[in-house]
Structure 1
């Protein structure tokens, strides 16, 4: 049977949590806590004003419906945390949630007090809605998205309040990007208090943020990104930090679900970069380098407008029922002005050129490697 994060929490509940022994999966659990629907239990426990134990939060969330959670597995996740002596007494607080569809801003964060001297700042990522995914893709052309600005301010506020504490920063999807961004943009004195930055299948950063002295040089050694083999979101933009590829039981976009990531004991099962993942990585890099910010903005806005007019609420639902959506998508795409269609097609052509170039380059590399090694297929 495949083991996942919830199995880890259940099997390790009797192990006392010590700072020196925080595992990869503890770090993932802390990152996932920001996805819990704290706003749904505000009448019982107001985490914007007070800290509460995970056991108290779990009890309050027993009254919620499965549909109240971002993902179904999150419902089991909080109950297992609440039952586990390893986690149940950890306090969570300073919950912030700011959503503004007009500004294309979706931001939420909480802090977990690991011990007297250590906190984990957990950033919420993408909720699976079209609105959430649009914000992810906006990173490809905007120098700073609203959620990144909020993340940096949140970290600064927490660090001032807890001037004696050190910090882990972590998040899944866009939350991982917010962790990296806030760490790199933080003042030097605050950067010294950051112990580690965890990014779980989240986009990297724009090249200019990593090439200039924006604090990246000081923080990069502390950053670790985990991505599944077939990652899409986690391959967006530039990654200069350590990247660990993990195994997933899912396929395609479904690998974005951290509950599909394979684990063994207290760590992720490592995977090798596949031919497909190498091709995807190089294709995305080349594509983003060849398209201007203006072209990318035009492309992303146009495609997501077509999705919205076609009643696509979640990208995953489009994958599952593409036959249902195809007629609407084609109709709404054709209703765009000729000029807009031509500009969007130009960007599609750039992506196609990058894909073809890297696909054949990858095959040529494999062919030469087989020739050198004297393989059968040389």
Structure 2
């Protein structure tokens, strides 16, 4: 089956004027948003844009052998391979970039990053980064389950407004993988009304959904025909919260949660290899995961989120990579939670994973108590 790299070899000899942007191109831009362009792409919207090719050359001159650790525990290392390959094609080499933003605010519990690509004088693409390696980013994801809006969503709409003021003409495409897809949709719905008519399309690649109120919002319904949601056959992230039922299912070469890695999605020409909507475990996953969310009140979801991250932060971890360190004792600290908080965690885990998980958790508690009394 064809991959994103096969696509570059097949379509890379044609410019965007010769072959219009498609859903594979938009995924490529979405994945490129995981790169840290801090020293290479201007963040001020008034500054002159720089070429994607020039940015890549400078980046790899400074980082000839970038390590996966530079991306974090959860971001596929193929992002660097893609960044090397894309500028070597006729299709992408003249693409310009500007407006790179990367904001981490622990106090506001916000992780937001975006970058703008200029395909030509008439076409603009904004790529919103998904959840990265930071714990604050994952905390913000959980906050989506009980807050009407999270800071990254507000920043996404502000970012789109700012780009539109600089790029006053032409179309704007919005795209993002994982949480980036959620931000792309939110930005389109909540941006200034005069901008919405310029939105060519919104591409959401396995991103989480919203609360029900968003799906009936008039601005969302107006944009809905231009929203393209793609999920793999056994999606987990992409079926979180509430979604429309018209998501396109794409075939992945991976299994389970690993299908969230969009490098595993099979490509066919300028699109992906589609599967029937009932393929894989999407319906089953939706029933299990979202039933778990619906059974908890917003206050219980908040308690679970606070308790979980109280554990994670207890050893001063800031990233998922930190949690994976053998020196980090966050799991054992979870057994020392305040009894009331621990009860919420146990209830949440048991409702999500079943009585077996509850039994394992309780056995751990018994063992811990025995060790403390011996």
Does residue 118 (structure 1) correspond to residue 123 (structure 2)? The answer is yes
Three-state SS of the structure 2 residue aligned to 1:242 is coil
Tell me the distance in 2 between the aligned counterparts of 1:290 and 1:249: 33
Q: 1:315 to 1:260 in 2, by over 3 A?
A: farther
Tell me the distance in 2 between the aligned counterparts of 1:7 and 1:61: 24
Q: Hey, what does 2:51 align to over in structure 1?
A: 53
Q: 1:234 to 1:298 in 2, by over 3 A?
A: same
Q: Hey, what does 1:258 align to over in structure 2?
A: 262
The range that moved more, 303-312 or 15-24, is 303-312
Which consecutive residues of structure 2, in runs of 5 or more, have no partner in the other structure?
Answer: 357-374
- Which of 142, 146, 150 is matched with 1:145 structurally? 150
Does residue 66 (structure 1) correspond to residue 66 (structure 2)? The answer is yes
Residue-by-residue CA offset, 1:22-66 (whole Å, 9 max, x unaligned)? 222112112222222201x34xx5454331111111111112142
Tell me the distance in 2 between the aligned counterparts of 1:12 and 1:342: 55
Three-state SS of the structure 2 residue aligned to 1:97 is strand
Q: 1:27 to 1:354 in 2, by over 3 A?
A: farther
Q: Hey, what does 1:78 align to over in structure 2?
A: 83
Q: Hey, what does 2:101 align to over in structure 1?
A: 96
Query: CA contact under 8 A between 1:253 and 1:316: conserved in structure 2?
Result: no
Tell me the distance in 2 between the aligned counterparts of 1:145 and 1:176: 14
Residue-by-residue CA offset, 1:219-257 (whole Å, 9 max, x unaligned)? 111101111122221111111263111121222222221
Q: 1:159 to 1:264 in 2, by over 3 A?
A: same
Q: How does 1:68-217 map to 2 (within 5 A)?
A: 68-69=70-71, 70-213=75-218, 215-217=219-221
Does residue 339 (structure 1) correspond to residue 340 (structure 2)? The answer is yes
Q: 1:275 to 1:198 in 2, by over 3 A?
A: closer
TM-score by length of 2: 0.84
Tell me the distance in 1 between the aligned counterparts of 2:27 and 2:290: 27
Three-state SS of the structure 2 residue aligned to 1:62 is helix
Tell me the distance in 1 between the aligned counterparts of 2:87 and 2:96: 11
Offset at residue 179 of structure 1 (A): 0.3
Tell me the distance in 2 between the aligned counterparts of 1:99 and 1:316: 16
Q: 1:316 to 1:285 in 2, by over 3 A?
A: farther
Tell me the distance in 1 between the aligned counterparts of 2:266 and 2:318: 29
Does residue 238 (structure 1) correspond to residue 236 (structure 2)? The answer is no
Three-state SS of the structure 2 residue aligned to 1:38 is coil
Three-state SS of the structure 1 residue aligned to 2:149 is coil
Tell me the distance in 2 between the aligned counterparts of 1:341 and 1:172: 33
TM-score by length of 1: 0.83
Query: CA contact under 8 A between 2:235 and 2:281: conserved in structure 1?
Result: no
Three-state SS of the structure 2 residue aligned to 1:141 is coil
Residue-by-residue CA offset, 1:183-241 (whole Å, 9 max, x unaligned)? 1112332111111000111111111122243x111011110111112222111111126
Three-state SS of the structure 1 residue aligned to 2:349 is helix
Tell me the distance in 2 between the aligned counterparts of 1:95 and 1:218: 29
The count of aligned residue pairs is 347
Q: 1:183 to 1:349 in 2, by over 3 A?
A: same
